[in-house]
Amino acid sequence: MLVAKQLKYYRKNNRNFTQGKNNNSQKVLSPPTERSLLAEAEYLLLRIYLHCPKYRQDVKSAMEARDLQFSLSHNRFLWKQIIDVENMSEYQITDSDDLISKLQDSYLDAPDKLSEVEHLFHLDEKAKRNLLRAPLEIRSAIAAIELIMCKKRRSAVLSMWQNTDLSTDSELAKNSELAKKYQEKFYSESEWIKELERLRITTIYDLIQVPLGELSD
């Protein structure tokens, strides 16, 4: 009964939220799309990898720890080119200009793909400032990418929870157990989303603990 009552509550709130969003769609500016947030986070990780050799292993380790991959096709292609260039090199590439030069050569057969990521090979003043605290930027970008994925999982779980049929006596016990699992997963994802939102934000304490870095390191 408790699961059924909570399920009814979420169904009602979801309808009210959708209706309210439609009624106010002309009054409220649209927030950044998931794709734009994802693109910015992936661009940040790639910039750090290209221009901050000192933190390349940190980028790899962070992605591996959270089992993340680049989602946008042109970023995924660039990441593959980076790995291929590093694997083919006879020595460890520790110079940013050297890596970028080799990558540009690798794109000779795919100039159309180069145009989508070429801006990452150059740094303006804003981009340079963003990379001065690379560890914080890596944490923020990783959290942003995982946050998008986590919200999609939560949305899928909520949909399955809402569509669980608790009206038929013959399947009530089985479906109640299933609904309970969806409920637990929904709350679990919600709690992790709160933590990811926290990790995305750079606080004054973070700035104090993480010193300014140098792009030449």
Q: Is residue 144 part of a domain?
A: yes
Q: Is residue 216 part of a domain?
A: no
Residue 18: band (very low, low, confident or very high) from pLDDT cuts 50, 70, 90: very low
Q: Report d(CA 175, CA 62) in Å as an integer.
A: 38
Q: 212 phi and psi, to 5 degrees?
A: -65, 140
Q: Report d(CA 111, CA 135) in Å as an integer.
A: 32
Q: Is 127 exposed, middle or buried (0-12, 13-18, 19+ CB in 10 A)?
A: middle
Q: Is residue 45 part of a domain?
A: yes
pTM for the complete prediction?
Answer: 0.75
Residue 9: band (very low, low, confident or very high) from pLDDT cuts 50, 70, 90: low
Tell me, what DSSP letter sits at residue 31? P
Q: Are 86 and 59 in contact (CB under 8 A)?
A: no
Q: Is residue 3 part of a domain?
A: no
Name the token pair of 108. 């000779």
Q: Is residue 37 part of a domain?
A: yes
What is residue 29's predicted lDDT score, i.e. its pLDDT? 45
Tens of pLDDT along 112-145? 889 899 999 999 888 888 788 899 999 999 999 9
Q: Which run of H or E residues covers position 150?
A: helix 134-162
Q: Is residue 40 part of a domain?
A: yes
Tens of pLDDT along 147-181? 999 999 999 988 888 887 666 655 656 778 888 88
User: How much is the mean pLDDT over the chain?
Assistant: 82
Q: Is residue 4 part of a domain?
A: no
Q: How many domains does the chain have?
A: 1
Q: Is residue 11 part of a domain?
A: no
- Containing domain of residue 175, as a range? 33-209
